[in-house]
Structure 1
Amino acid sequence: MIQGAFAVYYRELLILRRRLSRLIPSWSVSPLLYLIAFGYAMGKHVAVDGHTYMEFLIPGLIAMSSMTQAFSISSEINIARFYWHIFEEIQAAPVSDLSYVTGEVLAGMTRAFLAIAVILVLGLLFGVVLSLNVWFWLAIVLNSFVFASLAVGLAMLVKSHADQTLLTSFVITPMAFLGGTFFPVENFPAWAQKVIFLLPLTHAATAIRTASFGDMPSLSSLFILAAIGSMFFYISVLFVKKAKD
């Protein structure tokens, strides 16, 4: 199982290494624009819970980027399925469904961590230093695990890149703007808060932000992320099996 998972993971790492020089600038553009537009233009004189808006924003960007980059592994899977037919080759290889999902999820999480490193560097350039404690990294691991697992499962369902775009528009984009990334969840109406707290990114953004300020995040948020990630991982294994059949 370990060898199969490593083989899948190593293949994705080789692809990532070849594209890294192009990916790093692309990972930098959106956070940089958010920091300039929201951090300076809008939030220069705004304080949130005793912190500057820039300090509030960067943990949210970390949560959002770890989500989007972990989920982006689904696009790599679709390219491999539709154009290179790698999935068919993996079917013929002695790689179990569990090994395949594990390797792809690890690849998605790796992309997330690299994108987070870019944001942390940008944060330093803007004079923001966060507390990178164990709770901070645990929240990031769980968040990237959730969305990488979701990505693998959904990648097995889509039939084209158009379907993938729709999933991104209806699943990822709403969470990016409603999950407490740019604004405190408490600013929304009470009924909206109940809906927003159903989103995994809300718990991730809250946990990452709390940890980055040097405090211990809510264990319930971490547990919810772990439970959702485990559920998505299990479903992904089932979807891979169904796709092979």
Structure 2
Amino acid sequence: MNSQSSLQLGKTNQSSQWRSLITDSLTVFWGDWLKLRVRIAQIAASGLVSPLIYILAFGLGLGSSLPQPAIGNSYLEFILPGMVALSSMTISFGGTTFSICGDRLFTKTFEEMLLVPVHPLALHIGKMLAGIVRGLMTSGSVILIAILFTGKIWSFLNPLFLLLLVLNCAVFAGLGVLVGLNVRSLESVGLYNNFLIIPMSFLGATFFDPASLPAALKVIVYLLPLTYTSTGLRAAAYLPLSQFPWYSIPILLGCAIALSMLGAYQFAHQQD
């Protein structure tokens, strides 16, 4: 009898902890959303420049002289899912990083958030959720452009496509949280962007099919999380379910969870 009561009490405490974690995460997110909602148009447009340039230069320009790719009816169709992945990565990472840097280095309000009596994981998840929303705003604009160019609405709005997109935003928003917590100046953010995000933009299977690469290069490309997003989005948009790379989902989910654990540890030991 006592063991049953203890078991029920343990389950109740665990359920209460989960509810508290979710509530605290949404509270942290709400603080960022109050700032985001007045800049929705600006955020949605901020990540459109690079994808539009790539679409015009590579999709409509260079693509017209290239043979038909293995996936999609044209090279333009081939790169459009990659442009969605690229825009979500750039804004999820950059927006989250600069938001935390601004609070830490300029407004000096970050210390107040660290004093809030919530679990460190809730702080990370709340900031990550804000980064996910930023990425979805911008990638939503790119999806609209892709639909206008191709006329394939369901290809870019099916549940599998959207799931991969959310996971990609979560991965790079989580990475942005870690970078934002550790950099000491905005110049340092530029270094991360130049040596991490820009190379990944071109090596993350956004413009090419990694299956055609030599084995040595293929190993490097498949170490990048953006590769799994680009290939997964492309398959979700144009290929039947039997050809979808299902391993992309657990890999991206595992990356997001690992970054969340690191982010919670960083928040718990932050000394700002």
Aligned partner of 2:6 in structure 1 is none
Aligned partner of 1:70 in structure 2 is 92
Q: 1:96-125, CA deviations, whole angstroms, 9 ceiling, x for partnerless residues?
A: 211111110000111111111100111123
Q: Please tell me whether residue 8 in structure 1 is matched to residue 28 in structure 2.
A: yes
Aligned partner of 2:103 in structure 1 is 80
Paired amino acid for 1:147: F
Is the contact made by 2:71 and 2:234 (CA closer than 8 Å) also made in structure 1?
no
Displacement, 1:28? 2.4
Q: Which runs of 4+ in 1 moved over 3 A?
A: none
Aligned partner of 2:39 in structure 1 is 19
Displacement, 1:50? 4.9
Q: 1:32-59, CA deviations, whole angstroms, 9 ceiling, x for partnerless residues?
A: 2111111111112531115211111110
Alpha-carbon distance in structure 1 between the residues aligned to 2:236 and 2:115: 45
Is the contact made by 1:156 and 1:239 (CA closer than 8 Å) also made in structure 2?
yes
Alpha-carbon distance in structure 2 between the residues aligned to 1:169 and 1:127: 32
Alpha-carbon distance in structure 1 between the residues aligned to 2:265 and 2:80: 36
Matched-pair identity in %: 33
Number of residues of Structure 1 aligned to a counterpart in Structure 2: 245
Please, which of 197, 204, 220 is the counterpart of residue 247 of structure 2? 220
Is the contact made by 1:60 and 1:205 (CA closer than 8 Å) also made in structure 2?
yes
Q: 1:79-111, CA deviations, whole angstroms, 9 ceiling, x for partnerless residues?
A: 011111221111222232111111100001111
Aligned partner of 2:261 in structure 1 is 234
Cα-Cα RMSD: 1.7
Displacement, 1:3? 3.3
Aligned pairs for 1:145-184 (under 5 A) are: 145-184=170-209
Gaps of 5+ in 2: 1-20
Paired amino acid for 2:147: L
Alpha-carbon distance in structure 1 between the residues aligned to 2:254 and 2:121: 18
Q: Taking structure 2 as the reference length, what is the TM-score of the superposition?
A: 0.85
Name the CA shift for 1:50/1:228 in 2 (closer, same or farther; >3 Å). Answer: closer
Gaps of 5+ in 1: none
SS in 2 for 1:7: helix
Is the contact made by 2:93 and 2:176 (CA closer than 8 Å) also made in structure 1?
yes
SS in 2 for 1:48: coil
Displacement, 1:168? 1.4
Paired amino acid for 1:180: A
Alpha-carbon distance in structure 1 between the residues aligned to 2:71 and 2:80: 15
Displacement, 1:7? 2.3
